Structure 1
Amino acid sequence: MDFRLTDEQNMMIGAARAVGDRFGLEYWRKQDAAKAFPQAYWKAVCDAGLCGAALPVSHGGSGLGMLDLALAVEHLAATGGGSTVGQLFMINPIFGGVSISRFGSEAMRAELLPKIIAGDINCCMALTEPDAGTNTLELKTSATSDGDGWRLNGRKIWITGVESAAKMLVIARTKKLAEASSRTDGLTMFMIDVKREGLSHTPIDKLGTCTLDSSSVFFDNVRIEPHELVGTLHQGWRELLDVLNTERIVTTAGLVGTGELALKLAVQYANDRKVFGDRAIGSYQGLQFPLAQCHAEIEAARLLNYKAATNFDMGLPFGSEANAAKLLAAQAVASVTERAMQTMGGMGYAKEFHVERLWRDCRLFRFAPVSEEMILNYIANHDLRMPRSY
């Protein structure tokens, strides 16, 4: 077991840091205030080759691994973007890139992967539904046969990045539950155009992650063409899990980078701020110990995420590690952003000191893309072999 990074990985980290530093915290503060997609930033990420790090060389990627991608996300987040960076990678090289590269047709890969990798188009994924939520197997959005294609009807909610996306990965039921051989039978993935007759969406006003819109999406007899099928008709559940578990890895990487950034801002403030004489407030253990605890927790999440990514790259099971890393990272970053604000006192509440944005944004990841409670269910059922409670 070797924890040393390769020269190539260190070069990737350097490239990520260079892009992140070029934009910096003020860029993100302004984008957040404007609720604007970070288009210039994402194009710079793609131009640096970071979007395609884990995607195939044959279609413009670097052909590296998920660990390399996690390193890039982590360091981009740590230079200013925070946990939103994980979402940018989630919607594009994961929802778009991984689903297409692993399960799309060769024609789909040739058409879409170069555009995703170059940042010419963005993607999103429509999975969550108002009446299903985490219980994906109960989703009701249906794709019924229509000649050589399908007609899509239903509703999705909390879909990230629809407004800026050209393509949408949709998960629909292509068999009624009553006709399916199991609850997993009859789920199918499709990659469709966002701008299509019968597809509409409305924004959801929300607390944080304001640079990426969240929407309710409606499908009213939307035509799906035969070539838009991703993976295996009716058997998309296991294929979807590959997409969702890699989603966990980039989410965790974004959170780890956020924790690193929040600690850096808190320590800088504590070491500069002097009250009650000439001693910096950072010299008091009442401030030191909570920040040190946060550092230890962030490091634990980082290493477990590296294991998940490495297992993926080696073709080993990685779901348990990916989910547990996400659980630890979300909890640790909630603590560190809260503690950073407390360290800064009133200035932690001011937008000019940036931590409040990190705090608002990271709160989402206690319950998304999968809630703490469902991760704990997964660990209890799959890792501890305890009986299912739901």
Structure 2
Amino acid sequence: MTETENTVEIVRKATRELARKFDNDYWLDKDRKHEYPWDFIKAFAAGGWLGAMIPEEYGGIGLGLKEAAVMMAEISSSGAGMSGGSAIHFYVFPPAPVVKYGSEEMKREFLPQLASGDLLMAFGVTEPDAGVDTSRIKTKAVKVDGGWKVNGQKVFITNAQNAQKILLLARTSPRRDDKPLWGMSLFLADMDREHIAVREIDKLGRAAIDTNELFIDDLFVPEARLVGEVDKGFYYLLDGLNPERIVVGMEGIGLGRAALEIASEYAKNRVVFDRPIGQNQAVAHPLADSWIRLEAAEGMAMRAAELFDEGKPCGPEAAAAKYLGAEAGFEACDRAFSTLGGYAYAKEYHVERLWREVRLLRNAPFSQEMVRNYVSQQVLGLPRSY
């Protein structure tokens, strides 16, 4: 076993033990109450895990993506699902542009607070009229004395009910047809409630973690809170997209494993017609097939994470990891639903919660169709279809 492989297994074991201290009933309670899991977050903060990918000099533990990906899979497979996954995800991954492109002053001021859990950050990119075409965002930042004034609207923004800061993407130059993704800038802005109206969205799953619309009206952002250079913000985001794709895939895998664990136990103990239902191949084979697909999806995700950690291109592998993790995870949850039959509808069995949460991953952070578009064009060399 190499040193990296040993570290991965240490992280896997430690985070599995920690995450499983918060059982399925804990997450059911948070889901029912729409209550943010602060005690779960504090437990991971105490272990240093919120700073998993923040360099040690800024208060983190400086792990690679392989270790962080395994951590996120263990969190979601513990029964925490996307409620627990998103709670930790937004400490670990959205700060990536700040780590790489933020000023030294910005990094020293904010990264230690993120690593300790003292600062919660939202991530403001998506807009209601732009969809997956980020080049069409309308939120605009205009230069003023000492900084910028921002106006616009964002949607599907996680954590905005509690966040103190937001990593905000806004247009700083008009859109150009020849370079549509140029002309946007990133700001680490205050969640100033006098200038940002936050409206929570009532949604299907992940009820413990808030999702919101934002209405931004003359929000002032000091010059020092610009991340990197003006007009290059979207390109900075790209550095975080591949890690996010990989980790979302791993979270889908974890959700599938959580459901598979419940379904397998049920199939061993549920007796119908004088035999355990798991003795029937119609029940057993779909669950076995899901185990195989989840294992294969993790193999792709870890391969992509390895390439990223080595500084090698990993776009196709990262996209495939997201695609396979979302598909295998959803299929496993759906098959668990079928295994439990009518009991799957009962919240106390937890499968319906996992099923609701994993469905999100087929659409977010981008759809399965967009993955196929990317692979068609970038890997197979086919003409662009969108």
Normalising by structure 1, report the TM-score.
Answer: 0.96
Equivalent residue, structure 2, for 1:210: 207
Q: 1:339 aligns with which of 335, 338, 363?
A: 335
Equivalent residue, structure 1, for 2:12: 13
Cα distance, 1:185 vs. partner?
1.6
CA contact (8 A) 2:192 2:219 kept: no
Equivalent residue, structure 1, for 2:228: 231
Code of the aligned partner of 1:367: N
Task: Give the count of matched residue pairs.
Answer: 386
Q: 2:260 aligns with which of 263, 271, 274?
A: 263
Q: Secondary structure at the residue paired with 1:177? A: coil
Q: Distance in 2 between matches of 1:78 and 1:34?
A: 21
Equivalent residue, structure 1, for 2:129: 131
CA contact (8 A) 1:15 1:48 kept: no
CA contact (8 A) 1:150 1:225 kept: yes
Q: Distance in 2 between matches of 1:181 and 1:388?
A: 15
Provide closer, same or farther for how the CA distance between residues 306 and 3 of structure 1 changes in structure 2, counting only shifts above 3 A: farther
Equivalent residue, structure 1, for 2:27: 28
**Is 1:312 matched with 2:308?**
yes
Q: Distance in 1 between matches of 2:125 and 2:264?
A: 40
Cα distance, 1:89 vs. partner?
3.4
Equivalent residue, structure 2, for 1:287: 283
Equivalent residue, structure 1, for 2:62: 63
Code of the aligned partner of 1:299: E
Cα distance, 1:20 vs. partner?
1.2
Q: 2:243 aligns with which of 226, 246, 253?
A: 246
Matches within 5 A, 1:146-157: 146-157=144-155
**Is 1:200 matched with 2:225?**
no
Code of the aligned partner of 2:240: V
Code of the aligned partner of 2:156: W
Structure 1 stretch displaced more, 113-122 or 4-13: 4-13
Code of the aligned partner of 1:9: V
Structure 1 stretch displaced more, 87-96 or 38-47: 87-96
Q: Secondary structure at the residue paired with 1:171? A: strand
Cα distance, 1:43 vs. partner?
1.1
Q: Distance in 1 between matches of 2:326 and 2:44?
A: 24
Matches within 5 A, 1:335-374: 335-374=331-370
Equivalent residue, structure 1, for 2:159: 161
Q: Secondary structure at the residue paired with 1:36? A: coil
Q: Distance in 2 between matches of 1:86 and 1:17?
A: 13
Q: Distance in 2 between matches of 1:197 and 1:302?
A: 44
Cα distance, 1:6 vs. partner?
3.0
Equivalent residue, structure 1, for 2:104: 106
Equivalent residue, structure 2, for 1:221: 218
Normalising by structure 2, report the TM-score.
Answer: 0.97
Code of the aligned partner of 1:351: K
Q: Distance in 1 between matches of 2:90 and 2:105?
A: 21
1:252-287, CA deviations, whole angstroms, 9 ceiling, x for partnerless residues? Answer: 12111111111111000000111111x211111001
Code of the aligned partner of 1:272: N
Cα distance, 1:19 vs. partner?
1.3
Q: Distance in 2 between matches of 1:341 and 1:382?
A: 36
Q: Distance in 2 between matches of 1:213 and 1:220?
A: 21
CA contact (8 A) 2:168 2:189 kept: yes
Code of the aligned partner of 1:10: E
Code of the aligned partner of 2:210: D
Code of the aligned partner of 1:54: M
CA contact (8 A) 2:251 2:325 kept: no
Q: Distance in 2 between matches of 1:358 and 1:348?
A: 10
Cα distance, 1:3 vs. partner?
9.0
Q: Secondary structure at the residue paired with 2:35? A: coil
- Structure 1, unmatched stretches of 5+, are none
Q: Secondary structure at the residue paired with 1:232? A: coil
CA contact (8 A) 1:92 1:124 kept: no
Q: Secondary structure at the residue paired with 2:231? A: coil
- Structure 2, unmatched stretches of 5+, are none
CA contact (8 A) 2:183 2:230 kept: yes
